[in-house]
Amino acid sequence: MTSTTLTRDAREAPAPRRERPADDKAMLKAAADLTRELNRPSKAVYWGDMIASAVIGYAALGVAIAAASPFAMVAAGLVAILALYRAGLFIHEITHLKAGALPGFKAAWNALVGVPLFVPSFMYEGIHNMHHAKIRYGTVEDPEYLPLALMKPWTLPLFVVAALLGPVALLFRYGVLAPLSMLSPKLRELVVGRFSGLQINPLFRRKAPEGAFAREWAIEETACSIWAIALLALVATGVVPLHAFLVFLGVASGVMLLNQVRTLVAHLWENDGEPMSVTQQYLDTVNVPPPGIWAEIWAPVGLRYHALHHLLPGIPYHALPVAHRRLVVELDAASSYHRSNHRGLFPLVGRLAVSSWRGGPA
């Protein structure tokens, strides 16, 4: 999940079109055949993981606020960031869950995580599904894609650092813009189109919701607005100490910064806007499988298997390691599957930085 938007810089001349590989039919068949029984989410895993992550996160946030020393505040704040980051990433799972698969889970997640952190599920539902559409991925119609590898080098640090302002922007969106937009159709159109989705494509405009989703959107947005206005009022009147408010903003900014770093290496970002086959989309996406353990910290809830997730978006996060192990054993070294498995965060950041510096992949 990410809310930072950047404008793609103009090129003096279009990059030469690279040869695109055909679909790896053996990989696609193996992926489908070997994972048929893995599509059912575990209620115990989802509920236990989400609730435990949220409880640990808020407890650590409380410790950070009450800490008597800067060291204790920073240490507790880091625990809060990691735990709330993990809890927040269930928004990604919610977008892929089939209706009725986990009754009450979305509502509980919104109450525990989405509304308190100003990232309700409506900001990702519908948006993320477009990112997975075969005809949209990597094109101007993909709300979650920017060709970062083809952009100017300075866009990469800006893309990451801008996430630090995310909590303040969301407070303004829900505490000020949302109420005012009820009085102005033009402002409402702007809020819905530009500020109601976790999107990074500046050319994307979201359409107004319809039907049952419109009712869910209204409930979640109203709850966020009430919480934003109440929080600002409590801080302004001194009921909530300014110190506590700033620690909360710091932790929320840390969560968004960590997510933005993960987003930076979730794809190779090398597509030039043309439609891509399923295999091409897979190869532009990233797995960071074991034996390394650090990816489970910066890409939890199955996102270390992001390429595999694009290949099999219906598989719940806890089943992705099993699917990966089966495919590694089944597919030989020449398979496209192995080409999206990468070693870690820093090599991926380095590859992206080099590509951006050169104006595209070698």
pLDDT attached to residue 358: 85
pLDDT attached to residue 15: 43
pLDDT in tens, 133-176: 889 999 999 999 999 999 998 999 999 999 999 999 999 999 99
Phi, psi of 305 (to 5 degrees): -110, 45
Residue at 232: amino acid letter: L
Q: Show Cβ contacts of residue 347 under 8 Å, excluding neighbours closer than 6 positions.
A: none
User: What range does the domain containing 134 cover?
Assistant: 118-358
pLDDT attached to residue 249: 98
pLDDT < 70 regions, the chain? 1-21, 362
For the chain, what is the domain count?
A: 1
First to last CA, the chain: 29
pLDDT attached to residue 13: 36
pLDDT attached to residue 359: 75
- For residue 124, being part of any structural domain is answered with yes
- For residue 289, being part of any structural domain is answered with yes
- For residue 332, being part of any structural domain is answered with yes
pLDDT attached to residue 3: 40
pLDDT attached to residue 20: 58
What distance in Å separates the CA atoms of residue 171 and residue 161, rounded to the nearest whole number?
Answer: 18
What distance in Å separates the CA atoms of residue 255 and residue 117, rounded to the nearest whole number?
Answer: 10
pLDDT attached to residue 1: 47
Question: If we measure between CA atoms, which residue out of 282, 268, 280 comes closest to residue 313?
Answer: 282
Phi, psi of 285 (to 5 degrees): -120, 165
Q: How many CB atoms lie within 10 A of CB 269?
A: 23
Question: If we measure between CA atoms, which residue out of 142, 144, 145, 94 comes closest to residue 302?
Answer: 94
- For residue 59, being part of any structural domain is answered with no
DSSP β-bridge partners for residue 332: none
pLDDT attached to residue 12: 36
pLDDT in tens, 314-340: 999 999 999 999 999 999 999 999 999
Q: Show Cβ contacts of residue 349 under 8 Å, excluding neighbours closer than 6 positions.
A: 264, 265
- For residue 87, being part of any structural domain is answered with no
- For residue 190, being part of any structural domain is answered with yes
- For residue 26, being part of any structural domain is answered with no
What distance in Å separates the CA atoms of residue 163 and residue 256, rounded to the nearest whole number?
Answer: 6
Q: What angle do CA 126, 127, 130 make, to 5 degrees?
A: 85
pLDDT attached to residue 19: 56
Residues in the chain: 362
Phi, psi of 315 (to 5 degrees): -80, 130
- For residue 34, being part of any structural domain is answered with no
Q: What is the pTM of this model?
A: 0.92
